[in-house]
Every structure is written in structure tokens, then in C-alpha cells.
Amino acid sequence: MRFVFMCIEANNAPALRQAAAAIEREHGLRLVIDFFTPPDMHSTTDWERLAAAIARADFVFGSMLFGEEYVRPLSDLLAKASCPVCMIMSSPSLIKQTRIGKFDLRPKPATEQSAFRQWLSQFQPKHGHGEIQRQMALVRGLSNVLKFLPGKARDIHTYVMAHQFWAASTPENLRRLLLMLIERYVPGYKGKLPVLDPQQIPEIGAFHPDAPEPFAALAAYRAWRRKQRHRFSSGTVGLLTMRPFALSGNRAHLDALIRALEARGIEARAAYSPTLDMRATVERFFTDP
């Protein structure tokens, strides 16, 4: 089966391919992942390639797509797709191409606008600090209710959960996302695959290539450091990155930098933020030496 993923950057592509490989090992399902970013949406040949991928896909997923130069033609392509489409945290015109099961965000006449649609407008990206945190708070509250309801509510649950899986895009969470989409929307797999909640990952955290998981607090990070018996004689260097790099496994460059600094007797304290506003991360992990 084939999945098309589209995102502003390819950070999650390695983790998606790891997830697909794990599903093939565990369940004998071969998944083909086609991943596209804006640089793949320029020439006529690029658009033909994307159109062909969407035409043969079993599911199309997109996130963080805003550029007007590709949003309009992409909207036209998605309107023609015959498979389920899930667009999150993107331009409103792309989000409105979402249709999964009975949950359909394509424009309706004004007389058909529902209270739920008005509520859903809260998922349309807004400007300002804390926007991702605001959306994820909405997502977590709603998913706890919807997962127990049948019918259209289950499809809404899929849409809500997609935000959670994608925001915490570890290979394991992307494996769970793919399994949920296959179980619910690829014919023949209903009830045959596990559908699990996302792993809970700190929204802001410190990390290290030798640590099994991120640290939500400086005290936990320091406790782990003491157990490792690390000794540093040349001070501390702080490293800041975005959450997708830290979680998706696409961070060999960061891990190499951490080890190179440590080889020189320098503590490399690496931490991530879910947004470009890294003040909260700095306050949590770098204001107390």
C-alpha cells in the first residue's frame, strides 16, 4: 500500500521509513512512503510526479504547508484525490481538503455549517507565540472523549490523533499513526491491527544520544548525568534545536557534535523547543548552571 506525505521539511522522512520497515517486520505489510516538500513542487515534471503519486495513493497526509506558490495547485490536486486526505496545521485551503471516512471538511453551503465546524476553525493556524501549544491542548482534551465514540466521531478522533502523532514524531509514534490509518481506512484491515495512543513525549525537553528518552526537567537530566559518571572540566555548551529534529531520529549531525564536545571535556547540554520561540526551553534548561 502507498502513502503520500507532504511537509515543509523532510525531517520526518527517515522516521517514517523506519516506521514502515517495523510494520513490514511485525505485520508483513509492505508500505511505500512517497515524501514531498516544497522544493519538490516547482517544475511541470515535479507536479506530474506528485499528481501520479496522489492518484495511486491509499492515503494522503500533509502538514505545515503555507506557501501560496504551491498551496493553490496542491489544493486542486487534492480535490481530485480518490483516497482519504488528512491535512493538518497548514493553509486553511489545504485543511479544507481533508476527508477521512465520514469526516469531510470540504466547503459546504452556509446553511450546512455546523457548530462543530465553527469549533474546528480553532485548528486553523494563527500567528503569535504559543500557537502550537494552544492547538495541542485542544487536541489532547478532545481525543480523550472521541476515541470511545463510533461512526463519524471515530473519524474525527483520527484527525485529532494525527496532530498528536505528528507533533511527537518519534519512529514509534509514526508507526502507530500508520497502523491507525491502515486499520481504519485501508479496506480489509478493520480490527486486524493495533490502534494505540501516542507515546507521551515532553513538549520541551533535553536529550542526549546515550539517553533512552528526553528529559522533561533539568533535575532529571542532571540525575541521569550523575549515573553516567560523566566528568567535564571545560564548562558547558548549550545546544538548541527544534523538536522534530530531536525526536524523529534525523539528528546524526547533532549527536556527532555532542560527542565531539564531550571528547574535549565540555558538557554539551542539548534541548529542544516545539517552536522557534525558544525562551521556555532556555529558562528550563540553561538559566541554572
- Domains of the chain from N-terminus onward: 2-101+112-185 (3.40.50), 205-285 (no CATH)
What pLDDT digit, counting tens, does each position of 250-260 carry? 899 999 999 99
Helices (H), ranges, the chain: 13-27, 44-55, 68-79, 92-95, 115-120, 131-146, 152-167, 171-185, 218-228, 243-248, 252-263, 279-285
pLDDT at position 288 over 90? no
Whole-angstrom distance, CA of residue 222 vs CA of residue 93: 46
What pLDDT digit, counting tens, does each position of 78-129 carry? 999 999 999 999 999 999 999 999 999 998 766 555 555 555 555 555 555 4
What pLDDT digit, counting tens, does each position of 222-246 carry? 999 999 988 899 999 999 999 999 9
Distances (CA, A) of 4 to 7, 16, 195: 10, 11, 20
pLDDT grade, residue 151 (50/70/90)?
confident
Q: What local confidence, expressed as pLDDT, does residue 249 receive?
A: 84
Residues 252, 243, 86, 128: is their CA dihedral positive or negative?
negative
Whole-angstrom distance, CA of residue 84 vs CA of residue 3: 10
For range 45-66, the mean pLDDT: 98
Q: What local confidence, expressed as pLDDT, does residue 104 receive?
A: 95
H and E: helices and strands count for the chain: 12, 9
- Cβ-in-10-Å burial (0-12, 13-18, 19+) of 151 comes to exposed
Cell numbers describing residue 252: 546524526
pLDDT at position 27 over 60? yes
3-state secondary structure 174-193: HHHHHHHHHHHHCCCCCCCC
pTM to 2 decimal places: 0.85
